[in-house]
């Protein structure tokens, strides 16, 4: 998309008129305690299947990463302490980013993926044909297919709860308010203030990830405060929407096809002479 198009509200671009404010998540990892209440609440409300209860070898994390049956994932990251005598724990509740420029939407051939009036991205289970194009298109590796039904699944930001005026189950269950929900503009302002507080407290490593509308996905509808580089949390440092070049590619393909057609016509005309 052109820069001016990316700056527009994604709900409006999707055809929603007089829509509510764009809603999203701000996850402040500096106050996450790793309780996994968000994971449990997400599974219970959305009837997401359990995905194993055994330790995976990745610290105390029994879910390992986002997937079709893990829409919220709390990562446990062990690091040497400042004095190298102990450990520092970084904990982060990851989720679908609900990108402004969503490659999964661009590649879906059935329209199963749709932009809601809240600016979020959801999968319509009854329309998904399980092709998997969205899986490879996502720059964050969020969306995946579930073996039991073959369909693609991911966080919906509890679309049914939003329609009823309720906050998503994960944010409701978070005991420390690490997961904050609300209008995206308000969350960005709140996040900026939180980073400033941490910097004033000597935490110069605090940074925001995904809140910038000028980043490679046009800004995320779910963004994060991190206490280290994004790679430490398993996040790509410079995510780029994988379909940004599609219009240019299709334009060139159309020109090439037209040229071939003209050449074929010219050959036929020449052969008749």
List the Cα angle 9/186/238 in 5-degree steps. 65
Tell me whether strands 152-153 and 144-145 are parallel, antiparallel or unpaired.
Answer: antiparallel
Q: Averaged over 94-118, what is the pLDDT? A: 96
Give pLDDT tens digits for 11-64. 999 999 999 999 999 999 999 999 999 999 999 999 999 876 555 555 677 777
What percent of the chain has a predicted confidence (pLDDT) above 70?
Answer: 81
Q: With H, G, I as helix, E, B as strand and everything else as coil, classify residue 194.
A: helix
What's the farthest any 2 CA atoms get from each other in the chain? 89
Phi and psi at residue 69, in whole multiples of 5°?
-115, 15
List, for residues 149-196, the tens digit of each pLDDT value: 999 999 999 999 999 999 999 999 999 999 999 999 999 999 999 999
Extract the tokens encoding 206. Answer: 């605090």
Total Cβ atoms within 10 A of residue 186: 14
Percent with pLDDT over 90 in the chain = 73
What local confidence, expressed as pLDDT, does residue 260 receive?
A: 65
Give residue-wise pLDDT tens across range 212-258.
999 999 999 999 999 999 999 999 999 999 886 554 444 434 544 55
Look at residue 210 in the predicted model and tell me its pLDDT.
Answer: 96
Name the band, by pLDDT with cuts 50, 70 and 90, for residue 6. very low
Q: What are phi and psi of 33, to 5 degrees?
A: -105, 5
Strands (DSSP E) contained in the chain are 23-28, 72-80, 87-95, 113-115, 121-123, 144-145, 152-153, 179-183, 207-209, 222-226
CA distance 237 to 183: 25
């Amino acid at each position: 998309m052109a820069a001016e198009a990316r700056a527009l509200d994604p709900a409006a671009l999707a055809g929603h008129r007089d829509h509510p404010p764009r809603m999203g998540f701000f996850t402040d990892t500096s106050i996450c305690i790793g309780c996994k209440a968000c994971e449990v609440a997400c599974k219970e409300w959305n009837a997401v299947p359990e995905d194993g209860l055994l330790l995976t070898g990745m610290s105390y994390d029994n879910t390992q990463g986002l997937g079709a049956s893990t829409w919220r994932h709390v990562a446990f990251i062990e690091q040497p302490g400042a004095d190298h005598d102990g450990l520092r724990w970084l904990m982060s509740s990851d989720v679908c980013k609900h990108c402004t420029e969503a490659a999964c939407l661009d590649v879906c051939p059935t329209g199963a993926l749709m932009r809601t009036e809240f600016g979020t991205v959801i999968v319509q289970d009854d329309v998904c044909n399980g092709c998997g194009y969205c899986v490879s298109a996502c720059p964050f590796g969020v969306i995946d297919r579930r073996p039991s039904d073959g369909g693609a699944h991911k966080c919906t930001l509890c679309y049914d709860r939003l329609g009823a005026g309720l906050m998503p189950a994960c944010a409701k269950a978070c005991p420390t308010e690490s997961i904050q929900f609300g209008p995206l503009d308000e969350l960005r302002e709140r996040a900026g203030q939180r980073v400033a507080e941490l910097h004033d407290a000597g935490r110069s490593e605090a940074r925001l990830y995904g809140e910038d509308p000028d980043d490679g996905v046009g800004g995320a509808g779910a963004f994060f405060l991190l206490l280290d580089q994004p790679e430490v949390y398993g996040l790509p440092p410079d995510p780029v929407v994988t379909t940004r070049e599609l219009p240019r590619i299709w334009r060139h393909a159309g020109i090439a096809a037209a040229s071939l057609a003209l050449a074929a016509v010219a050959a036929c005309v020449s052969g008749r002479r």
